[in-house]
Amino acid sequence: MGNIRILVIEDNPDDIVMMQRKLTSHFDIDFATSGEEALKSLKEKKYDIVVADYSMPKMTGLDILDRIKNEGYDIPLIITSGVGNEWIAVEAMKKGACDYIVKSICPDWLEVFPSVIQKSIEKYRIIKGKKKAEEGLRKALEDLEKTQDRLRELTITDDLTGLYNRRHLFNQLQREIMRAKRLGDPLSLIILDIDDFKSYNDRYGHLEGDRVLRRLAEVIKDNIRQIDSTYRYGGEEFAIILPVTKIQDGLPVAERIRSAFEAVEFTPEVSKGKVEHAYRTLSIGIAGLDPDYNLEDLVKYADDAMYEAKRKGKNQVFVSDPKAEE
């Protein structure tokens, strides 16, 4: 135990002499006769433990304990007192003291004090190690939760566009249909497709085609509300769920997306240093939820409307009206 360094805060000369005689053979000891002197010593040296007498002028042992904790010193502390006082003992423990020694109750306290000091240091290290382990476990659980969230995000996200994928479309659409029917709210679904995308890919290559898909994803996100959600339905097809939206209110959204994408200029490289200026258009279909529709019905009618927009000349929005077809 000879390498253990102790700071003793004591203003009683007789106690200081006794502690010097009994403890210097066990520990390296420095003495401070006031709280301020002790805090100065803590700034200058590293100690394994602090022993503070409660009855100190200007600053009690409990005050010293508070200052040590508040100033960020990571060190165990024992409170000593010449007179037993239950309140002092309770407050000392509440504030984080490792032990409380009453000198008058135990006349031979200095005989057992080396053991008390050693056990206090060990106890403090165990508690500190436990807290560190608990903090490590907490961080590991947080990291695991973040990883699980990220993995879940990957399973529902399209790699190329960053939009939700087809699988998540059907899961979310089913939830929205159930919610809309339960609350009596309207619900609209948009399905859109890039016109003549295959010919664009054949002419400029798939990398240029990917740029078009990513740009379309940006255009869609820029023109929908926060409560709306967009998905890569497959290939060059995209879908948008519009909750609490009547079909006539969804029509301007579809038209806004069509117009914004039509204005986007693409500059695919056709040979080294040479680019062309190209534009793409969209065929868009929109369908509204009917009380008798299920998920397949809503998707079918929106998809049929999109193909009708293509049949009628492309670059337009067509509104589904199944009753008109009957």
Surface-to-core class of residue 153, CB atoms within 10 Å of its CB (0-12 exposed, 13-18 middle, 19+ buried) = exposed
- C-alpha–C-alpha distance, residues 156 and 159, integer Å: 10
Scanning the chain, the segments in alpha helix (DSSP H) are: 13-23, 35-44, 61-70, 86-94, 109-155, 166-183, 197-204, 206-222, 247-262, 295-311, 322-325
122, 126, 128, 130 alpha-carbon torsion, rounded to 10°: 180
Count CB-CB contacts under 10 A for residue 270: 14
Active site (annotated) includes residue 325: no
* Cβ atoms 64, 37 nearer than 8 A: no
> What are the two backbone dihedrals, phi and then psi, of residue 102, each rounded to the nearest 5 degrees?
-100, 110
How long a stretch of residues is the chain? 326
Q: Which of 236, 255, 269, 276 is catalytic?
A: 236
Q: Which two tokens stand for residue 155?
A: 């399973």
Instruction: Residue 75: name the closest of 52, 109, 54 by CA.
Output: 52
Q: Which residues are catalytic?
A: 236
